[in-house]
A and B are shown apart, each in its own frame.
Chain A
Amino acid sequence: MQSQTASLIEVRDLKRTYAMGDETVTALAGVSLDIAEGEFVAVMGPSGSGKSTFMNLIGCLDKPNSGAYRLAGEEVSLLSADALAGVRSRRIGFVFQQFNLLERTDAVGNVALPMIYASSDRKERRRKAEAALARVGLADRMGHTPLQLSGGQQQRVAIARALVNNPRILLADEPTGALDSRTSLDIMALFQQLNREGMTVLVVTHEQDVADFAKRVVRFRDGRVISDKTQQPRDAVEAIAALTRELEEAAA
């Protein structure tokens, strides 16, 4: 077992290439990185920089060609597809740009989805799903289907779904890419709140505005890490207040 001070994510010389016809495209050319429990990391870079590939590897959706990846002390780069599904189920919560909710299923059902693969009791599932929805501020929208919810609310449902199995890390891929700026601030405020409560958050983005809310920013280019800095994060609640003032002044 790892001690408490050890990194939650330990990546060593991770490489990933794709065969594109006759050519071999290198998406990740050897990345090493440590992320500790409780960090809020923004992964930045232009498209093609390898940040999405990195995200997929961290999320156990993909396997590296070489290199090591220890997640919470467990070497996961060599696991089978079934075992990786188990790791995703227990340790990782995903938030996507397009929310990816099941359209015909209500908020509670969507949030409960990860639990049907983790085999828990039906009543227990409902209770946990409702608790997760309350945690993201949607206690009054339990029975709504995605079509009855705004974009921001849908993303909150998706975040509740990511939280419901009590993962160690929240992985968000462009979580505000489909939202307006005010709603984006709400979502970032929610991430900051979850981070304060102890959740490790990893956000992949190409927007500096989003990265400003993270405590640490890692930049990718051409499949490599080109910078890794900690920063004083901007507070999303204050940003909301500032935006509100701006709008009021503009209206006056």
Chain B
Amino acid sequence: MRLSDSLGSAFEALRAHKLRSVLTMLGIVIGVAAVIATVSIGGGAREEVVGRIKSLGANLIIVLPGNITSGGVRLGTGQSATLNDDDAKAIEREVAQVQVAAPTMRGGAQVVFGGTNWGTSIFGVENNFFEAREWDIEKGRLFNGEESQRGGQVALLGLTVKNQLFGEDDPIGQTIRVKNVPFEVIGVMARKGQSAQGQDQDDSVFLPLQSARQRVIGSSRAKNRSIGSMLVKVREGEDMAEAEAEIKSLLRQRHRLREGDEDDFTLRNLSDILSTVEASARILSVGLSAVAAVSLLVGGIGIMNIMLVSVTERTREIGVRMAVGATPRDVMGQFLIEATTLALIGGMAGIVLGGILSQVVSRMAGWPLYVDVSAIVMAVVVSGLIGIVSGFYPAWRASRLDPVEALRSA
């Protein structure tokens, strides 16, 4: 008996009992859908995590002033004034693993050029901020030494701000006003895209730290030279935990904290944050994997059950086929292929369902849709195997029927 003939009679038999076939497939459908969704959601989450690391710059530690429970009083981090420029310089100088420690300040303001204005984020930074963030300049130049140290009235524009204020025109050499202070535009930064929180990172204006602090967003901080936060970039290949420990002890020493005192700063390792995301994705994965395994097992049992019923129902048909020349092997092949076809169709439906499911989840979570071809191939192979394994016993029973008995059955 040829494969095409076996497939033909398999499809005919499945069509003859449509509802039964569909219900039998359901276990496989759900199992495979769960596998596909698991792989796809896990992969999407991982890709999202990698994306965040890339967008922030690799090997970053964020140092924020204050502690969540400073002296028993809960202060929002970033609100107190316990970090300053010198802390950043000291870290960069004294901690061997650190490549760059960039002090930054952040605020919001209206930016005016001619008749137009635009509300945006104002960053006070030094050039090393761009190094830490791995952020290239597209046009013009960065701050020079004089501008950085003395607080020159110059500005670098994010791409969004440039487009809002200048459109297609060249902004370099033009003067913008921030809180009524004039700044000369000296450069435009390259596109950076959305941040992890979904903010447009290109909607920013960068001023020298000193200028921002003294003239625009940090009037209260001007005296103590405090900063909003610090971005520390650890050298490639160095141990993040070690670097963190060193930074911590250096800052405690500089801030004259005694043993038992709480830190007056907070370190945030990005990988800590991201691993939380991964962990929740993993919990989802484990749950779905369990569903998948149980569902595939139940699906296999269902197929075996329905194939046994089918063999019993069609005993006389088997007898007739044997009488007209079917060998036991032909009969076995027919039922095996029927079971495998059932499982494979279920598998394909499961792939489609799983694809829809992961698209819905990735859209809700805002993750990129992740398609894993190897998972799809695996799903097909696994459902085929389930069909063969669960169809084997019923098919073997059919092949062992005595033709005389089979023909005599009702």
A interface vs B, CB < 8 Å?
56, 59, 61-62, 81-82, 85-86, 88-90, 94, 96, 100, 102, 104-105, 113-114, 116-119, 161, 165
B326 touching A100, Cβ below 8 Å: no
Give CA–CA (A113, B22) in the complex, Å: 27
Q: Are A114 and B325 in contact (CB under 8 A)?
A: yes
Across-interface contacts of B326 in A (CB, < 8 A) = 85, 117
A118 vs B45: C-alpha distance when bound (angstroms): 56
B317 contacts the other chain (CB 8 A): yes
> Which stretch, B70-78, B180-188, B327-335, B366-374, touches the partner chain A?
B327-335
Q: Is the CB of B317 within 8 A of A94?
A: no
Residues of B within 8 A of A114 (CB): 324-325
Indicate if the CB atoms of B329 and A82 lie closer than 8 Å: yes
Q: Give the nearest-CB partner of A118 in chain B.
A: B325
Which of B316, B325, B328 is A89 in contact with, Cβ under 8 Å? B325
Chain B residues near A161: list those with CB within 8 A.
Answer: 324
Closest chain B residue to A96, Cβ basis? B407
Which of B2, B325, B407 counts the most chain A CB atoms within 10 A?
Answer: B325
Indicate if the CB atoms of B324 and A117 lie closer than 8 Å.
Answer: yes
Please pick, from A82, A88, A102, the residue contacting B323 in the complex, using a CB distance under 8 A.
A88
In the complex, the answer to whether A117 meets B325 with C-beta atoms within 8 Å is yes
Contact call B322/A61, Cβ cutoff below 8 A? yes
Query: Which residues from chain B contact A117 at a C-beta distance below 8 Å?
Result: 1, 321, 324-327, 330
Does B5 sit within 8 A of A, measured CB to CB? Answer: yes
Q: Which residue of B lies closest to A105 (CB)?
A: B12
The 9 closest A-B pairs by CB, nearest first: A89-B325, A114-B324, A117-B325, A85-B327, A116-B5, A61-B403, A100-B320, A82-B327, A94-B323
A156–B183 CA distance with the chains assembled, in angstroms: 102
Distance from B58 Cβ to chain A, minimum over Cβ atoms (Å): 63
8 Å CB contact of B404 from A62, A85, A104: A62
Q: Are A86 and B407 in contact (CB-based, < 8 A)?
A: no
Q: A102-B317, A117-B1, A117-B321 are in contact. List 15 more A-B contacts (CB 8 A).
A: A61-B323, A61-B403, A81-B327, A81-B328, A82-B328, A85-B322, A85-B330, A86-B325, A88-B322, A88-B324, A94-B323, A113-B320, A116-B2, A117-B325, A119-B2
Instruction: Please name the residue on chain B nearest to A87 by beta carbon.
Output: B325
User: What are 9 contact pairs spanning A and B, CB under 8 A?
Assistant: A61-B407, A82-B327, A85-B322, A85-B326, A96-B320, A113-B320, A117-B327, A119-B2, A161-B324
A88 to B324, CA, bound (A): 6
Compute how far the CA of A165 lies from the CA of B317 in the bound complex, rounded to whole angstroms: 19
CB neighbours of B2 from chain A (8 A)? 116, 119
Q: Does B16 contact A (CB under 8 A)?
A: yes
Question: For residue A89, which residues in chain B have a CB less than 8 angstroms away from its CB?
Answer: 324-325
Who on chain B is nearest to A61 by CB?
Answer: B403
- In the complex, the answer to whether B324 meets A56 with C-beta atoms within 8 Å is no
Which chain B residues border A61 with CB–CB below 8 Å?
322-323, 403-404, 407
Contact B321 A113 (CB under 8 A): yes
Question: How many Å lie between the Cα of A29 and that of B323 in the bound state?
Answer: 25
Residues of A with C-beta under 8 A to B322: 61, 85, 88
- Shortest Cβ distance from residue B332 to the other chain A in the assembled complex, whole angstroms: 11
Identify the closest chain B residue to A90 (Cβ).
B325
Closest-CB distance, B373 to chain A (whole angstroms): 35
CB contact between A94 and one of B12, B324, B327, B329 (< 8 Å): that residue = B324
- Chain B residues closer than 8 Å to A56, beta-carbon distance: 404
Please, which residues of chain B bring their CB within 8 A of the CB of A105?
12
